[in-house]
Structure 1
C-alpha cells in the first residue's frame, strides 16, 4: 500500500528515506538517479531565484514583476534576515513564472515559490549546503504525491488551498527534516501548514497567475517555516494528518466554481480586479 502521512508519522528515522524506497520500488529507478533529477531541479530553483531577485522586468499582464527585487533591496526594519529572505526568494520564483521564465512547478507553477522560498531560504540563512537539501526535497515530493491521491493539486479542482496549501505542506515537511526533525514531526508540520490554508480560494485577477499569486507564495513560504518551527518544538496536529488532507479535499468539492481559478470571484471580481483584467487583456489583444 502507498504510504500516507499517518504512516510517515509512525516511522522511526527520516520520512524521506521511506519515500525514496517507495519511489525506487514504483519506478524501478536507482536512488542516485532520483537524487540526480532533484539536483537538476534544485539548480533550476536556484537560477529562478537569482533571476527573480535581479530583475524588475514586468510580467506578461504587467501587474507584477519588481516585487521580489524591491523587497530584497529594501532596508529591513525588522532586522530579520530569514523572514525577508524566505519572502523574497518565494516571490522571485513566482515573478519568473509570471514572466514566462523557467521554474520548477512545486507542485504547480502558481505555487512554485513556496518550497524554494522556505527550504532554500532557511538553508542559505543557516549556511546549509545544497547537497543536504536533496532528501528534504524527496520528502516534499512525497507529501505532494500523498495529497494528490485525495484531490487534484489544482486551483481549478480545489481552490488555492489545493495549490498553495499543498506547497506549504511540502515546504513545512522539508524544512522540518532539514533541521533534524523526526518523521513524526515532518508529517505533523505538513498537517499544520495544510490545515491553516483550508478554504483558501483561487481568485487570480484576469486569470493571470500574478495577483494575488506572487505575494501569496511569499506569505505561505513564511507560513511553512512557522509550521516547521511549531512541529520541531513538539506541537502536533490534533486532527491526524491524513484527515486534514481529507478535510481539504471535501472543502475543495464544496467551493463554488467562481472560487476555483475562473477569475470570476474573490479579488478578481473587485472593481479594481476587473479593471486590471480588462487592461491586461486589452494589451494582450493589441499585440
Structure 2
C-alpha cells in the first residue's frame, strides 16, 4: 500500500481527488492482482453475510452453547417497538443490530470479522441500520467497507486489533474507529473529516481492557459491540459537524499501542482479571469447567 498512516491516506486522497474508499479499492487491486471489479464484488459478498447475520440475530435462537447469552438483540428490538428509546430510534437500531450480529457469533453462526470476531457487530450495526435509514444502495455500503478497511489497515500496522495483544481497546476500539470514519465518508464527509472521526472514536476507548468471563467471547463482549455502534455514530456526527481530533489521529493510534503494550496480561483476553475475576465471573467459570468435565 502507498500509505502507512492516516495522514498519508488523507493526503493521497486529496492529491488524487479520490475518496478513501476509491483509493483503497485501487490499492487493494494492485496488492492482490485482481481487478477493482473483482475486489468490489468480493466485498459485496461480505456485506451480504453481514446483512444475513443481522437478520438471523433478530429472528432465530441465538442462545450460545454456554447458555450465558442470547436473544438480547430481540429484547431490545421489542422494547424499541413498544417504547421510545432514550437514544432515539436510529441509534437504538444500530445498537440492536450490533448486538444481533455479536450474538450470532457467540452462537457459532456465520459472521465477518471486522476487524475481529469479538468486534464483529459494530460495523454491521452501523452500516445496516444507516442503509435502512438513508435508503443507500448496497454498492454505497460496499464503498464504506473499503473505507473502513483502509482505516483498519493503518491501525493494524501501527497498533493492535486483537484483544490478546492490546486489550478490548484494540478490538472494539478499532471497530468503532473504522465504523466512525466510514460513516463520515458515507455521509459525504471529506477524507480529512473521516480521519478526525477515527481519532475521536479511538480516544474514547483508550485503556479498555479485554476481560472475557469464562474465557468466552460473550460477556461483556456482546454488549460492548452494542455500545460501540452508538459511539461510532457519535464520533461520525462530531466529525461531520467540524469537530477535530486535537491530538492527531495517528498519534492516538500510537497511544493505543503504548497503552496496550503496558496493559497487564490479566487484562488482555486471559480471563485472569477484570469482570472475569469478580465473584460472579469466577462462579460462571467454575460452572463451565464442571460442565466441560462432565462432557469429557
Cα distance change of structure 1 residues 286 and 174 upon mapping to structure 2, 3 Å threshold:
same
The equivalences for 1:1-287 within 5 A come to 1-10=2-11, 11-12=13-14, 13-74=18-79, 75-78=82-85, 80-287=88-295
Q: Does 14-23 or 166-175 show the bigger shift?
A: 14-23
1:64-119: per-residue Cα shift (whole Å, max 9, x none)?
A: 11101111112233372212210110010110000010000001000000111112
Q: Does 127-136 or 104-113 show the bigger shift?
A: 127-136
Deviation at 1:3, TM superposition (A): 4.1
- What SS class does the counterpart of residue 289 from structure 2 fall into? helix
1:121-148: per-residue Cα shift (whole Å, max 9, x none)?
A: 1111222222211111001111111111
Q: Does 119-128 or 242-251 show the bigger shift?
A: 119-128
CA distance in 2, matches of 1:53, 1:127: 20
1:188-212: per-residue Cα shift (whole Å, max 9, x none)?
A: 1111111111000000001000000
- What SS class does the counterpart of residue 282 from structure 1 fall into? helix
CA distance in 2, matches of 1:246, 1:101: 34
CA distance in 2, matches of 1:221, 1:261: 21
Return 5+ residue gaps in structure 1 as ranges.
Answer: none
- What SS class does the counterpart of residue 110 from structure 1 fall into? helix
- The count of aligned residue pairs is 287
- Asked if 1 retains the 8 angstrom alpha-carbon contact of 2:4 and 2:157, the reply is no
CA distance in 2, matches of 1:286, 1:160: 32
- What SS class does the counterpart of residue 29 from structure 1 fall into? coil
Deviation at 1:32, TM superposition (A): 0.8
Return 5+ residue gaps in structure 2 as ranges.
Answer: none
CA distance in 2, matches of 1:158, 1:213: 15
Deviation at 1:151, TM superposition (A): 2.6
- Asked if 2 retains the 8 angstrom alpha-carbon contact of 1:56 and 1:69, the reply is no
Runs of 4 or more above 3 Å deviation: none
- Asked if 2 retains the 8 angstrom alpha-carbon contact of 1:55 and 1:69, the reply is no
1:200-238: per-residue Cα shift (whole Å, max 9, x none)?
A: 000000100000000000001110010000000011100
